[in-house]
A and B are shown apart, each in its own frame.
Chain A
Amino acid sequence: MAFVSSGYNPDKPMEGRISDIGPRLYKDFLPPVLEKNYGKWVSHEILEPGLLVHEAESGDKVYTVRVGSARLVSTEYIREACEVAKKYCDGYIRWTTRNNIEFMTTSLESAKALKADLNGRKFDKGSYKFPVGGTGASVSNIVHTQGWIHCHTPATDASGTVKVIMDELFEDFTNMRMPAIVRVAVACCLNMCGACHCSDLAVVGFHRKPPYVDHEYLDNLCEIPLAIASCPTGALKPGKTDLADGKKVNTILVNQERCMYCGNCYTMCPSLPLSDKEGDGVIIMVGGKVSNRISMPKFSKVAVAFIPNEPPRWPTLAKVCKKIISTYAAEANKYERLGDWAERIGWESFFEKCDLEFTHHLIDDFRDPAYFTWRQSTNFKF
């Protein structure tokens, strides 16, 4: 189609330019009952899975229906969510930090109708569009990153792995039968844009091969010193090599023993790609949390050092996730987060109960902090 100008004039970019205006004012988007009772809420209750009521000092109540959603969504999907919001919620809608969508209304009757309506909407092939749930002691929606849909460094896909894990744990999204909330995250590489490192269950994409070196093009495409400086382990150094035609070129040499496959160098230099079908896969980490409730926030720990990518449905990954979550659900005390449970029973028991093999890859050997994870005690369980 023909180019349509917005009014922007490329010859005079500064003409009438508006910048630095920031986001829209959140107050303009608050449902009236929330605006009226702002800062004056006194309590809340989860009436049934996915249905919350919040009560204000004034006696006003707001009913919230929470639904799961993919994070990767089309405008068509957003429009449908908007249509629902217009039908039941005077056109107000909100997303949660975990990619859930919330619909709010002041009438319980309308909230129930809303719930039924949302649960009734499905895609052609049968998956729910807006499954109601994600409240209380449930497995809530997965926070995650881009993966193969849009990033250059992933070691796995994000939307795909999230879909299969949530399919597997679906009953625990729509029910509240966990000992405590369970937070799951997927990050498609160790950059962890999704910052898995403090989740109850985290899936992290992981490369296992040092970068290729595209000697022929490297010197033309990359700033060699920048790429070398980007390597955290000092695995790179400048060098020369002979191409097949005898030509000598400046390039980068990789000390493969030192490489931790982080991909920093690839970010600086496109001639150092590292992804690989056999090399790439995922790590499973468990037992992290961010809330200060009962115990301090803590990092997730590696429970499985490597699971290969098995698209499209990653069956091994799904199985292991299910096993860990169901063992936790069966064994932990009420209010006990996954990491608190593992600490109480001891990590040696955790591996036993979850049927996970303990391998040498699970002993930290990365710089100083490693030592603090070894056992300086005779207190352990047989």
Chain B
Amino acid sequence: MAKHPTPLLDQLESGPWPSFVSDMKHAAEQRHKNPRGTNQQIPEGVIDDLLGLLEMSFEDGTTHWKHGGIVGVFGYGGGVIGRYCDQPDKFPGVAHFHTVRLNQPSGLYYKADYLEELCDLWDMRGSGMTNMHGSTGDIIWLGTTTPQLEEIFYELTHKHNQDLGGSGSNLRTPACCLGMSRCEYACIDAQDICHTFTNEYQDMLHRPQFPYKFKIKVDGCPNGCVCSIARSDFSIIGTWKDDIKIDQAAVKAYVGGEIAPNAGAHAGRDWGKFDIQKEVIDLCPTKCMSYEGGKLAIDTKNCYRCMHCINVMPKALRVGDERGASILVGAKAPILDGAQMSSLLVPFVPAEGSYDEIKEVLESIWDWWMEEGKNRERLGETLKRLGFQKVLEVTGIKPMAQHVKEPRTNPYIFWKEDEVPGGWTRDINDYRKLHQR
């Protein structure tokens, strides 16, 4: 198949950052040469056509993809997104170009052999183009035809022990940070929680039953490397209750300049000598630290675990031992009424064993949201519409001052009838006994 000229895209081959155009051109060539003798099931010229179509978008400043059609694999309501191009005659290789989402392993670790097996399958039954990874976390395979979908699913499940991810009004593929596998800050086993919840709720992941999408993300600590507070309807974030552990000798070593602050993160510039007062004590948002007489002290009762001091002196300070998770709910993107971040629902919950306490909270929220949520309404929007009190009610969680940044400024308070002595059913004649008309 003839290549299409791509004078505009070619300009994205210069510059130091990895050029996806160079990569695609190389991949297109390899597809023609076919060094591994792959039995290509979709057109050989698929990547040439993808480049040609993209060049056309660069020329005329708009996309050339049409709506997703309804395609998928039998029994699943997600995991595949239908995609067709609006120039099928010019670019037949990408006339049908569906996305397949593969559920990523927790923490995004792989063995090369496994990835190569996946590459073999995708070279054979798809375009060979991917996203590592999509925004939700899945491995995204870009571009195959409808007849290949069941074949791909069959091979994934039978040969690679690998399932699809979520899309549509489903539970979306949960995601987590790398947690305990390589991070000393991890207060909870983010990877295990993510894996456990993904498996426990396979039905929700594959079969639409919610008003809209629902995302679960797990951060091992308040640093928030997977941004769960901003990106998930249900954010599980590791935290602790007791003292930050202090190694006074190591603190001295930081003060003395023997250890670089912030794990060396600022090494590229001369910021002057490390100043513990200025860089740690004064920046502590709760002003709960002091450094006097060569000794660092933290008033645990007032620390709100922002991670700053620990990030600056990781060799001297460790998160506490009484660890668990905070649960926050309701983040969503701006679409419609503005972006929302997750709001604190459960300040502390142990996160061990089978995570039953967390599941209980999650399931009671689902039960309520499935009942009350409007079509295409994210949990955060339902919360806004019906009030935070509702979610406390359905989860049986006691309201506490931790739930708010500040108490309400608006005194129009709704009471329930049974909260007011005597209720609301009153006889006007009783009133008239005291007040003339």
| Residues of chain A at the chain B interface (Cβ within 8 Å) | 1-8, 10, 13-14, 16-26, 28-31, 34-35, 38-39, 41-49, 54, 62, 64, 68-79, 82-83, 85-86, 91-97, 99, 101, 123-131, 135-138, 143-154, 157, 159-160, 163-164, 166-167, 170, 173, 175-177, 181, 190-195, 197-198, 230, 232, 262, 264, 267, 270, 275-277, 280, 290-295, 297, 299, 309, 311-313, 334-335, 366-367, 369
* Interface contact B23-A137, CB-CB below 8 Å: no
Shortest CB-to-CB span from B376 to chain A, Å, is 8
Task: Please report the C-alpha to C-alpha distance between residue A29 and residue B106 in the assembled complex, in whole angstroms.
Answer: 10
Task: Please report the C-alpha to C-alpha distance between residue A151 and residue B19 in the assembled complex, in whole angstroms.
Answer: 20
* Interface contact A23-B198, CB-CB below 8 Å: yes
In the complex, the 9 A-B pairs of residues with the closest C-beta atoms, listed nearest first? A136-B265, A167-B15, A74-B27, A123-B22, A277-B61, A82-B112, A177-B268, A125-B13, A176-B268
* Interface contact A1-B40, CB-CB below 8 Å: yes
Shortest CB-to-CB span from B369 to chain A, Å, is 19
Task: Please report the C-alpha to C-alpha distance between residue A28 and residue B133 in the assembled complex, in whole angstroms.
Answer: 19
Provide a sorted-by-A list of 23 A–B residue pairs whose CB atoms are within 8 angstroms: A6-B155, A7-B154, A14-B74, A24-B105, A24-B114, A26-B106, A44-B184, A54-B182, A70-B23, A74-B47, A76-B26, A92-B112, A93-B109, A97-B226, A146-B131, A148-B62, A152-B67, A177-B266, A181-B265, A277-B60, A292-B224, A299-B339, A366-B338
* Interface contact B13-A123, CB-CB below 8 Å: yes
* Secondary structure dominating the interface of A: loop
* Interface contact B335-A19, CB-CB below 8 Å: no
| B255 beta carbon closer than 8 Å to chain A | no
| B262 beta carbon closer than 8 Å to chain A | yes
| B327 beta carbon closer than 8 Å to chain A | no
| B57 beta carbon closer than 8 Å to chain A | yes
* Interface contact B269-A127, CB-CB below 8 Å: no
| B373 beta carbon closer than 8 Å to chain A | no
Task: Please report the C-alpha to C-alpha distance between residue A26 and residue B104 in the assembled complex, in whole angstroms.
Answer: 9
Residues of A contacting B150 in the complex (Cβ-Cβ under 8 angstroms): 6, 8, 10, 13
* Interface contact A267-B67, CB-CB below 8 Å: yes
* Interface contact A34-B19, CB-CB below 8 Å: no
Binds A, one of B122-130, B359-367, B416-424: B122-130
How many chain B residues touch A (Cβ–Cβ < 8 Å)? 142
| B333 beta carbon closer than 8 Å to chain A | yes
Shortest CB-to-CB span from B130 to chain A, Å, is 6
* Interface contact A73-B133, CB-CB below 8 Å: no
Task: Please report the C-alpha to C-alpha distance between residue A235 and residue B21 in the assembled complex, in whole angstroms.
Answer: 40
Name which residue of chain A comes closest to B160, CB basis: A24
Task: Please report the C-alpha to C-alpha distance between residue A145 and residue B104 in the assembled complex, in whole angstroms.
Answer: 17
* Interface contact B67-A270, CB-CB below 8 Å: yes
Residues of A contacting B62 in the complex (Cβ-Cβ under 8 angstroms): 148, 275-277, 280
* Interface contact B334-A197, CB-CB below 8 Å: yes
A3-B147, A76-B26 known; 9 other A-B pairs, CB under 8 Å?
A24-B161, A38-B181, A42-B318, A92-B112, A136-B264, A262-B335, A290-B229, A292-B222, A366-B338
B119, B198, B226, B230: residue with the most chain A Cβ atoms closer than 10 Å: B230
* Interface contact B103-A22, CB-CB below 8 Å: yes
* Interface contact A5-B151, CB-CB below 8 Å: yes
* Interface contact B61-A293, CB-CB below 8 Å: no
* Interface contact B47-A26, CB-CB below 8 Å: no
Shortest CB-to-CB span from A353 to chain B, Å, is 19
Given A48-B267, A69-B132, are A23 and B283 also a contact pair (CB < 8 Å)? no
Name which residue of chain B comes closest to A288, CB basis: B230
Name which residue of chain A comes closest to B143, CB basis: A150
Task: Please report the C-alpha to C-alpha distance between residue A177 and residue B160 in the assembled complex, in whole angstroms.
Answer: 44
| B203 beta carbon closer than 8 Å to chain A | yes
* Interface contact A23-B162, CB-CB below 8 Å: yes
Given A23-B104, A164-B12, are A43 and B76 also a contact pair (CB < 8 Å)? no
Shortest CB-to-CB span from B12 to chain A, Å, is 5
* Interface contact A293-B22, CB-CB below 8 Å: no
* Interface contact A43-B19, CB-CB below 8 Å: no
- Contact partner of A29 (CB less than 8 A), chosen from B111, B132, B147, is B111
Task: Please report the C-alpha to C-alpha distance between residue A264 and residue B337 in the assembled complex, in whole angstroms.
Answer: 13
Shortest CB-to-CB span from B196 to chain A, Å, is 10
* Interface contact B65-A163, CB-CB below 8 Å: no
Given A68-B18, A71-B132, A91-B111, are A77 and B27 also a contact pair (CB < 8 Å)? yes
Task: Please report the C-alpha to C-alpha distance between residue A231 and residue B306 in the assembled complex, in whole angstroms.
Answer: 40
B13, B113, B177, B206: residue with the most chain A Cβ atoms closer than 10 Å: B13
Residues of B contacting A30 in the complex (Cβ-Cβ under 8 angstroms): 109, 181
